A and B are shown apart, each in its own frame.
Chain A
Amino acid sequence: MTTETSAAAGFDRDRLTAALQDYGVYAAIVVLLAVNTALAPRFLSLENLRVQLFQAVPVLVVALGMALVIGTEGIDLSVGAVIAIAAALIPLYLGYGPWPAVAVALVGGAASGLVGGGLVAFARVQPIVATLALMIGLRGLAVILNGATAKPVNDPQIGGLGLDSWLGVPEMAWLAVVLVAVVAFLVRRTTFGRQLTAIGDNRAASALAGLPVRRVLLTVYVISGVLAAFAGVLIVGHGGYADPANYGLYYELSAITAVVVGGTPLSGGKVRVLGTAAGALFMQLITATLIQHDVKSSYEQMVEAVIIVAAVYAARGRAGR
């Protein structure tokens, strides 16, 4: 009798841990919102939420691509540098009009992804090594393209990206929702999504099952590159400057954190898209909370470090199973 109750309790605790790993990030967001509102009612104001959103979206966009890469048991450290590349390309091609400039920036992102993905898929370089090299090289290239000083980008169309509202909600929010929906659909309903998770879970078996392993890997890195470049466009637009030396610094880490906090295991084989979006919002709320209380940004980084460790620690049990 006693043994049965204790077995049942153990079982429940397992389920609790699993639930915490799966949904903890959503709970954490609610808690952060509640705490901030309690301390400063202004926090829930439309104006502030709008600010939070605008700052969270670029990380979210990058994190979505990162989640796909991590789903294949890879990692993409080059995303921050790709943001810089996009930032460097825009002023160079702004003369042809805002949209051609944006298109060139996105192509630049795709090309970067092609190089990184090519190294991983065809040359079989480890993802961390391939994208680390790319991260260093692309940052240098961006500074060469642009020069060391920041250039103003005074284009109303790029600057106004997502600022308008539709149905009372800023377009930036719609954009985020649509992107999340598209990536979630990609992962859950398409052949590509299935192949991606299968390859991340067991690459050898996937290859033997005839899956187009190299093509899928290459595509994933290209998607990550394009999304990072798109984040770069948003950042340049809202900043009003192109500053390749400083834009996108540490973005790879923020994106990885968002993905991990959102419950996607680093060991691959699973992609949690909604969790990743929540992870990006969560990271932004942490930053906002700390700013609200005048905590220095160096402390903020330390808090971020603690969160990464905590999230990976929480995910540990699941990976072991």
Chain B
Amino acid sequence: MVDPVLRVERVSKRFPGVHALREVDFELRPGEVHALVGENGAGKSTLIKVVTGVYQADAGVVRYRGEPVSFASPLDAQRAGISTIYQEVNLIPLMSVARNLFLNREPRRFGLVDGARMRREAEEILRDYGVEVNVARPLRSLGLGARQMVAIARAVRVSTSAARVVVMDEPTSSLEQREVETLFGVVERLRAAGIAIVYVSHRLDELYRICDRVTVMRDGRVVHTSPMADIDRLTLISLMLGRDVEQLRREGTTAFRAHHSGDQLDDGVPVLRAQGLTSRHRIQDVSLRVRRREVVGLGGLLGAGRSETAKAVVGALRTDAGSVEIDGRRVRRNSTAAAIRAGAVMLPEDRKSEGIIPNLSVRENIVLAALPRVSRAGLVDRAKQDEIVRYFMDRLKIRASGPDQKVSELSGGNQQKVMLARWLCLNPKVLLLDEPTRGIDVGAKAEVQAVIDELAADGLAVVLISSDLEELIEGSDRVIVLKEGRQVGELTGADVTESVLMSTLAGAPSGVDRDGAADDH
């Protein structure tokens, strides 16, 4: 058997009040892709940070290529050959793509940066990753997915000279399917070159596709290590959650119950009726009808116009044409305030930049949109406010040290629940959810899904966007499929399955030639 390139032996790490790692053992072999899974707070990030020199272990030994090591900083670890691709895209938005790719390692000529060579090489490198862009343009002009690819290319580039270990922390969270495939290609290349990869992801499909072995962590401990093929999905999830396999088998892996029955229960008058929504270059003539007690999914790939449709409905995306009616009443266009008053609210996809107000407390974040309703003559009614906050922290099981805690200090799942509370306390009629469970741990994910279910049962009209197919299919009563900003199909009843969705996406003609009609341009 091959000697492990990295070996963590009985490592412990404490923070004030938290025992983040308890005598953790972990072993990484050259040329393997090793999945590291667990709920948020299980200790994955801490383990990675100990290995990459961000933290130092309190006890235990980290052996790298047989020698005990203690990296003083990430740079130190990188020099030794361990590089990391972080979840947060760690690049400089205003610098050019090429500069970002070569940052700190620019090709030089006469002591100056050789711009031409840098751009040429950057183009070549990125082409390998399926990214065809003008590398002289600033990074921020790229989409999120392309940016993530640049980050990966950069980390791999740093490594290939000397690297033996590459850590990928949720590398696919902002990639679309095609880009994910490219990434997997890169992973294969690294594996073939004998580089060991630690792969952290919440997406089980990916793990089963590309990982060789898996280590499961829970509460700061390693609870399982085995070849990926030796463990089935349910067992894996039950290990992560610390729950019984049989129970999971009965109830399914998502927290959605049977489909709702919007069709029979209502007389057919939709709560939300959006017609012909059009916003140049983004969406073309998209229409939506959602009844009470109904969850309508929006299917499609990244860039298909799903988020844009949701944003157009709540007035956050400027539309050139189209109308939105809530309960039969027309809503003023391009005004989020008007949409909110009418009862349509949206949970944005990018929680960090469009959702939470990071430095305000949980309490202030929850009542933010409801401020006019908890105020009298411009003064905040504290009793009313605290009652609402208490109710929703309880109902959604928001875990915080108290309503005064800064929202940025909460885990992703709890931040998402705060966002949900912000909207639910307005008593909305239509709830649009854009990736409601992205990047949150399995436990919180199940809780959020259960809440969505309950809300729909209580009479809300829900629009669900999710790139987690299982979630989209199990959660939706109908799915409207978008492609290139146009509606290309609708799945109803027994057709709401992954395979029909896939074939609709694959088979549908591209939006432009649809119906053969001459479209305006």
Contacts and interface: CB of A to CB of B under 8 A. Distances in A.
B369 A209 contact: yes
A201 B368 contact: no
A90 to B, nearest CB: 32
A206 B378 contact: no
Contacts of A204: 353-354
B356 interface: yes
B14 A208 contact: no
A207 B378 contact: no
Nearest to B372: A191
Contacts of A209: 336, 340, 368-369, 422
Interface string A195-229: 10110011011111111100000000000000000
B302 interface: no
B15 interface: yes
Interface stretch (B68-76, B194-202, B358-366, B507-515): B358-366
A190 B422 contact: no
A192 interface: yes
A189 B383 CA distance: 12
A204 B241 CA distance: 35
Contact-residue size bin, chain B (C-beta under 8 Å from the other chain): 20 to 34
B388 to A, nearest CB: 14
Contacts of A197: 357, 359-360, 364
B113 interface: no
B403 interface: no
A3 interface: yes
Nearest to B367: A194
A205 B356 contact: yes
B316 interface: yes
A7 interface: yes
B359 A194 contact: no
B103 interface: no
Interface string B226-266: 00000000000000000000000000000000000000000
A181 interface: no
A210 B425 CA distance: 14
Contact of B379 (A8, A11, A190): A190
B14 A194 contact: no
B369 A210 contact: yes
Contacts of A205: 348, 353-357
A83 B363 CA distance: 39
A212 B337 contact: yes
Contact-residue size bin, chain A (C-beta under 8 Å from the other chain): 20 to 34
Contacts of A192: 378
Interface in B200-237: none
B192 interface: no
Contacts of B58: 3
Given A208-B336, A208-B348, A202 B358 contact: yes
Given A4-B14, A205-B354, A212-B337, A198 B364 contact: yes
A270 interface: yes
A3 to B, nearest CB: 5
Interface string B1-32: 00000000000001110000000000000000
A46 to B, nearest CB: 38
A202 B14 contact: no
Contacts of A190: 375, 378-380
A201 B15 contact: no
Nearest to B375: A191
Given A190-B379, A205-B354, A209-B422, A270 B359 contact: yes
A202 B379 contact: no
Nearest to A206: B357
Given A195-B371, A211-B368, A201 B358 contact: yes
A192 B358 CA distance: 18
Interface in B285-316: 314, 316
A239 to B, nearest CB: 37
Contacts of B355: 205, 208
A219 B336 CA distance: 20
A83 B369 CA distance: 37
B33 interface: no
A189 B354 contact: no
A191 B368 contact: no
A4 to B, nearest CB: 7
Contact of A189 (B358, B372, B380): B380
B401 to A, nearest CB: 16
Given A3-B14, A210-B340, A201 B378 contact: no
A198 B357 contact: yes
B414 to A, nearest CB: 17
A269 B369 contact: no
A291 to B, nearest CB: 39
B481 interface: no
B431 interface: no
B336 A198 contact: no
A204 B356 CA distance: 10
B155 to A, nearest CB: 24
A303 B340 CA distance: 51
A201 B364 CA distance: 12
Contacts of B371: 191, 194-195, 211
Contacts of A4: 14
Interface in B331-387: 336-337, 339-341, 346, 348, 353-360, 364, 368-369, 371-372, 375, 378-380
Contact of B360 (A11, A189, A198): A198
Contact of A194 (B346, B353, B354, B368): B368
| Residue from the set B339, B346, B371 with the largest chain A CB neighbour count within 10 Å | B371
A208 to B, nearest CB: 5
Contact of B16 (A7, A201, A206, A208): A7
A191 B379 contact: yes
A198 B348 contact: no
A98 B341 CA distance: 46
A225 B328 CA distance: 44
Contacts of B336: 207-210
Nearest to B16: A11
B364 A210 contact: no
A210 B371 CA distance: 10
A195 B365 CA distance: 11
Contacts of A8: 16
A190 to B, nearest CB: 5
A54 B207 CA distance: 70
A201 B14 contact: no
A211 B58 CA distance: 47
A11 B18 CA distance: 14
Nearest to B422: A209
B79 to A, nearest CB: 25
Nearest to A185: B379
A71 to B, nearest CB: 11
A202 B353 contact: yes
Given A8-B16, A209-B336, 8 more contacts: A11-B16, A189-B380, A190-B379, A191-B372, A201-B358, A206-B357, A208-B336, A270-B359
27 contacts: A4-B14, A7-B15, A8-B16, A11-B16, A191-B378, A192-B378, A195-B371, A197-B360, A197-B364, A198-B360, A198-B368, A201-B357, A201-B360, A202-B358, A204-B353, A204-B354, A205-B353, A207-B316, A208-B314, A208-B348, A208-B354, A209-B336, A209-B369, A210-B336, A210-B339, A269-B358, A269-B360
Interface of B: 14-16, 58, 314, 316, 336-337, 339-341, 346, 348, 353-360, 364, 368-369, 371-372, 375, 378-380, 422
The 10 closest A-B pairs by CB, nearest first: A210-B340, A210-B337, A209-B369, A191-B375, A191-B371, A201-B357, A269-B359, A198-B357, A202-B357, A3-B58
